[in-house]
Amino acid sequence: MTRILICEKLDPICAELLRAAGFEVEERTGLTPGQLPEAVGQYEGLVVRSAVKVTAELLARAGRLKVVGKAGSGLDTIDVAATEARGITVLSTPGRNANAVAELVLGFMLALARHLVPAHNALRAGRWEKSRFPGFELAGKTLGLIGFGAVGRRVGSLARGFGLDVLAYDPLLTAAEIETGGARAVSALTDLLAAGDFVSLHLPLSPETRGLISREVIFNRLKPGAFLINCARGGLVDEKALAEALAAGRLSGAGLDVFENEPLAPDHPFLSLDNVIITPHLGASTAEAQTNVARAIAEQMIEHFRTGSGGGRAA
Ligand SMILES: NC(=O)c1ccc[n+]([C@@H]2O[C@H](COP(=O)([O-])OP(=O)(O)OC[C@H]3O[C@@H](n4cnc5c(N)ncnc54)[C@H](O)[C@@H]3O)[C@@H](O)[C@H]2O)c1
């Protein structure tokens, strides 16, 4: 019988569907990084979310493994080259959590524009500081999206509802594809950076995109006073430069869900900046998104083991 290991906490629908399809499923979410390599050799299928890193070393211990299923998008936690070298298929669920991430992006934008976090904190501390928090409206402002896939598109659609002018830069799409998705296509990244009152990142982390939002971009390319939102991946941004730019007022604020090193170090400069809102990688953490990705990865794995296909692979 085909054995599948679910090694991170997932909506129970994943195990239910796999068992109903006749697989033997073990949910072992408490395995330590030392225990996982010991265990992984017993399974044909492995299901992960975002915490477990599927490395070449782990795969070397996984002699029976045929499929790795990621209940989420972004394959930066999986050594895809090593899976390919071993003939292991990687499945993932791009787009199934897009709305959850997009709503968090809009949440950051609204909270930054209206000082929701500092105003809340001041009032809880007993200070009624009505004149300290003048805000601005999103309507009429410009939002620049870097990456116009499932999440970027959904953010664009929600933002248009708030009356923002939405620009998108995505070198892997044609201008016509971007316009069909409802944004104005920008062919040069520098033009988007210069125009955005808000710039939001929605591209994968890869060797090519690592550090895309560099010190040069932060201090010389982004519009002075702009807001940066990152709900994609931490390695896309030079965090040190970003913290300096926020402290100096070069940028007005940032909403950040992802970081170069997670969990965030307790002395990280973002933790002491009032114009930053940070969340612990919550982008896909809604009940709906977790059910969607758990169901989708189970369906793809069932399909794959039955027919050798199943799709869902994403960058
Ligand atoms: N915070 C979270 O919990 C969370 C949840 C889901 C996704 N994500 C991240 O959000 C990002 C987008 O996810 P998605 O589901 O929309 O992925 P997607 O694959 O649907 O879209 C990514 C888009 O980025 C574009 N792209 C690639 N290289 C680019 C470049 N150099 N410049 C601009 N665009 C580029 C691609 O053409 C594609 O259209 C990924 O990094 C993913 O890991 C984070």
Residue range 141-171, pLDDT digits in tens: 999 999 999 999 999 999 999 999 999 999 9
Q: What one-character-per-residue DSSP string does 171-216 give?
A: TTS-HHHHHHTTSEE-S-HHHHHHH-SEEEE-S---TTTTT-B-HH
| Residue whose CA is at the smallest distance from ligand 1 atom 10 | 232
Place of tokens 């390919």: 84
Q: Helices (H) and strands (E) in the chain — how many of each?
A: 12, 12
Closest approach atom of ligand 1 to CA 233: 41
What is the pLDDT averaged over residues 77-87?
Answer: 96
Q: Band of the pLDDT at 311, cuts 50, 70, 90?
A: low
Q: Is 295 a catalytic residue?
A: no
Q: Band of the pLDDT at 314, cuts 50, 70, 90?
A: very low
What is the pLDDT averaged over residues 219-224?
Answer: 98
CA dist 92 and 305 (Å) reads 15
CA dist 297 and 92 (Å) reads 7
The first and second tokens of residue 167, run together, are 């620009």
Instruction: Choose one of 49, 73, 105 to mutate for the ligand 1 pocket test, by most ligand atoms within 8 angstroms of C-beta.
Output: 73
What lines the ligand 1 site, CB under 6 Å? 73-74, 94-95, 97-98, 101, 146-152, 169-173, 202-205, 209, 231-233, 257-258, 281, 283-284, 314-315
Q: Is 304 a catalytic residue?
A: no
Q: Is 120 a catalytic residue?
A: no
